[in-house]
Structure formats: structure tokens, C-alpha cells
Amino acid sequence: MASHVRVSKKAALLALIAATGVSLAPIPAAADGRTAPQPALSTAGEQAVTAPGIPRLPGGLSALSWLVADAETGSVLAARSPHRKLAPASTLKTLFAVTVLPKFSAGAVRQVSSADLDGIGSGSSVVGIQQGRRYTVADLWRGVFLRSGNDAVHVLASMNGGWQTTAREMQQTARRLGAHDTTVKSPDGYDAPGQVSSAYDLTVFARAGLANDDFARYCATARATFPGAGGSTTIENTNRLLAGSHGMSRYPGIIGVKNGYTSKAGNTLIAAARRNGRTLLVTVLNPQSAVPNAVYKEAGALLDWGFGTAGSTQPVGTLHAVNAAYHGGPMRPVAAQATGAETRESSPWRPALVLGAGGAGLAVVALGALLARWRQPRPTGRRGDGG
């Protein structure tokens, strides 16, 4: 569990391995333990292997960019313009969480100052953080993941040393994960000049995040309580595939991750689901269809296609930088989440980062987790936009 006062033995071991210059095997691996060769992922056009017995891609996909990947092996099963640089909206909060979440314990308390809430962009989604009130870090992360609260992001960024410091750290994290399409200007995902990401990078961020129990638990929570003006109030996740709201049914096996919307980005979504022993990630950016809930419907169709391949399709590329390994059996946590309950056992993921091709920078991530043991929160003001 992420904390600024303790670090997992595994993170320490990874840092130690990196320090000695030992490189772990690239991923994904073949069944016999040898490295499986992966084709290069093209930057444009629709890519999927067509062969007898492999389902055809769903029709009606209008998104400017999308990607389907196996979360455990890192294999990219199909994609359209996966490296196209687009505004990410609040899906960029996945990178924010990967960067900041490990630094502070869930029970740490922050009394919110006016400086913490300075600079929230006009029209931002907020969870209702109030100046002068005390919130636990867990409260703030529920505000980020469920309500996409830019006010919660701003408070956490203040704890992390400020808005610009956080943006720089997010940029560094992206590069360490092998995500080279991303430029961070506003950590909450609010539209800002020059801020872009891609379906490929966002899938990498979500995959890395799911290797953290706390990230996986927050992003899988459909409903939770949050401190309100008159006491606790119930907040619902804005991810309609997870909450089963606004005309959408809860997707079978859904385990998160994050949705977003801005006028520049349009609708964006990273969705993860697990069925029949397989976990898939789908990222969909800016559908052009006028169909209601298009981003959710297209993501659901791509998940259906991926599960329908039953492992028969051949990959068209790989998320080479990080491997988030699943450990466990049936998706009991999904059943728990269907009730909207948030429990400590709600995460189906266990931390397991493996260095891969181009992933030597993950040694720095592991070392950073080790150093975070001694790092204290640094309350300070900062400026920035909301998202």
C-alpha cells in the first residue's frame, strides 16, 4: 500500500537490482520463458491481425484514436492511430496518480488553505473541497477518481510541492514508463496549450497504476462517502461503464479506470475489465459520432471484441515499458464493487513492476519509492489551471 513512510520490499528489491546493473527480461515472455518477439506498433491507421477464427473488429468506431491491450502480457491486440497526440482531458489524472499517490499515506490529513485551491480552471469538475476543512488523503483520492475533482488534484499537488513541480514530475514519470507522446502542462488534465497524450501512453499509465493496490481500489470504486457541508455525502463515479449510470449498464467484469471530457479533448476513456481469467485495457479518445455515450459504447464494443478473441489473436505491438502482473483467482472484488462498496480488498491487482525494453527508467521509479520513505509532505502554494 502506498505511503510516504513505508515502502514495499519489492520496490526496494527492484531498486537494488537496478543499482547493481542487473536487467530483468523484457516482456511479454513466451510460454517457454523466452522473450516473445513483438512487431513494431505503427503510428497511424487501423491495426489488427485478421485470420480465420479471429472476430472482426466492431463496426461504427468513430474515435480518432483507440487501443486494446492485454494488461498482463502488455500485448497490443488492436489499435487505431495509437501514437496520435491528442488532448487527454481527465484521463491524464492516471499519470498524476501514478506519480503522486505513492508519496502520502491514505490516513494523512490536510487542512485546505486558499492557496491549495488557487487557479482551478473555469468549468472544472470539482468534488466540493472547502477551504479550512480537514481531509484525509484517502478522501482526496476518492475525489480525484470518482468525481474527477480538480479541486482535489490541486490540494494533492500542493502537498507534493506545487503545481509546476508536480507537472515536471509527471513528465519525468511518463518518460520513465516509455511514454513519449505525452506533454504535461496541467496535472488535472484541464485543456492547456501544448498538453497532449496518446492512446498508447494513457494505456501505459493505467497499466502501471493498476500495479498499485490503492490506485486499483480507488479506480474500481463506484460509490463512496465524502465529507460534505452538512456531514458525509455519497459521491458516484463519473465512469458510466463502472457506475452503470446515464443510460449505460455496468460493464461485466469492469475494474476501472478513468474517463474525461473537455471541449478540446471531447470524451476520453480508459477502461479495464477482467473476464475468464483475462484482463484487458481499452483506451478511446474523442469519438466523432453524435451517438449518446459514444465513448462508453465504443469502449464496450472493443472490450467485447478483445474478450471474444479468447487469446486467439496475434499482437500488433506491445506496451513494452512496464508489466503489471495479476495475482489471484476469481474476480471477487468486482462483485464487491457492484454494490458500490469500497473495501480494502477491492483491488484485484498486486504490485509487480517488471523492467522491460526501454524500461530501465523504472529503476528510478523503484528508487523513488524507496526514497519516498523519508520524504515528508511539503505544503506550499502554486498556480495552475483546473481540468
| β-bridge partners, 262 | 266
Annotated active-site residue in 3, 81, 90, 347: 90
Q: C-alpha cell of 150?
A: 480538480
Q: C-alpha cell of 211?
A: 500495479
Tell me the CA distances in angstroms from 110 to 144, 151, 189, one per residue in order.
15, 13, 23
Question: Buried b / exposed e across 10-40, counting CB within 10 Å, b at 16+?
Answer: ebeebbeebeeeeebebbbbeeeeeebebee
Residue 207 sits at the vertex; the CA angle it makes with 6 and 322, to the nearest 5 degrees, is 80
Q: How many beta carbons lie within 10 A of that of residue 358, not counting itself?
A: 15
Contacts of 324 (CB under 8 A, 6+ apart): 71, 72, 207, 208, 210, 211, 349, 352, 353
Tell me the CA distances in angstroms from 347 to 195, 299, 361, one per residue in order.
31, 22, 26
- Whether 148 is a known active-site residue: answer yes
Residue 114, φ and ψ in degrees, nearest 5: -65, -35
Annotated active-site residue in 93, 185, 258, 297: 93
| β-bridge partners, 70 | 280
- Whether 289 is a known active-site residue: answer no
- Whether 347 is a known active-site residue: answer no
Annotated active-site residue in 8, 65, 81, 148: 148
Active site residues: 90, 93, 148
